[in-house]
A and B are shown apart, each in its own frame.
Chain A
Amino acid sequence: GENVEQHPSTLSVQEGDSAVIKCTYSDSASNYFPWYKQELGKGPQLIIDIRSNVGEKKDQRIAVTLNKTAKHFSLHITETQPEDSAVYFCAASHGSGNTGKLIFGQGTTLQVKP
């Protein structure tokens, strides 16, 4: 079955620096790759997603890149702020028209130091 590996497990950056989180997936049929942010005591919330027909997607300070050949995708956060501190999860799925089952990575705890 699908397996998603996420690195690093923890990441500490200074406010204003960039943060990069990387994920690899095993199932070449996966075509939908969301990123979720989970704040303490809350459920995960989607921050950005990308489909396999797109190589990069940007939304203000957040961007995601996808390399289908290598089966990896990354989350980039620029100009980090203390409110970016949270746990981030990548996931992979077969997307629309299917069950939408998500396979999650293990999570990255991001700490942004003021």
Chain B
Amino acid sequence: NAGVTQTPKFHILKIGQSMTLQCTQDMNHNYMYWYRQDPGMGLKLIYYSVGAGITDKGEVPNGYNVSRSTTEDFPLRLELAAPSQTSVYFCASRTGTGGLDEQFFGPGTRLTVL
């Protein structure tokens, strides 16, 4: 199993541009999450999904959108990028069944908005 994969690894975006961060998991997990990590601030939840077709906001959803059309994929869309969205973005997945709560994280996408 590849686990959780994210693309791209790095990206530089201009202010006002849009882009989609890709996330795929091959563990057939129901739950998927997007976090952003800023220096010294820990990880903040942006959006999450409890299954295909169902998404909900986390702590810091403004400026982002998500979709979950399949179990495997959970893309994060940035519209009208702003410098405040410069961060490292992590996608994670979790089975949530059988008492298993571990979240498996991808390697992250480092995004710079200039």
Contacts and interface: CB of A to CB of B under 8 A. Distances in A.
Interface of A: 1, 4, 6, 9, 32, 34, 36, 41-46, 49, 89, 93, 95-96, 99-107
B105 interface: yes
B107 A99 contact: no
A43 B35 CA distance: 11
Given A43-B106, A43-B108, A45-B105, A99 B31 contact: yes
Interface stretch (B14-22, B40-48, B67-75): B40-48
Contacts, number: 67
Nearest to B90: A43
Interface of B: 4, 31, 33, 35, 40-45, 48, 50, 56, 58-59, 90, 92, 94, 96, 99-103, 105-108
A41 B90 CA distance: 11
B85 to A, nearest CB: 19
**A-B residue pairs, 4 tightest by C-beta:** A43-B105, A104-B42, A104-B43, A106-B42
A44 B43 contact: yes
B103 A100 contact: yes
Contacts of B92: 43
Contacts of A107: 40, 42
Given A43-B108, A99-B31, A101-B58, 4 more contacts: A41-B107, A43-B105, A89-B43, A96-B100
A99 B56 contact: yes
Given A34-B101, A43-B90, A99 B40 contact: no
B102 A96 contact: no
A8 to B, nearest CB: 12
Contacts of A103: 45, 59
A96 B96 contact: yes
Given A99-B56, A101-B58, A106 B40 contact: yes
B103 A105 contact: no
24 contacts: A34-B101, A41-B107, A42-B107, A43-B105, A43-B106, A43-B107, A44-B105, A89-B42, A95-B101, A96-B99, A96-B100, A99-B31, A100-B103, A101-B33, A101-B45, A101-B58, A102-B33, A102-B45, A104-B35, A104-B42, A104-B43, A104-B44, A106-B42, A107-B40
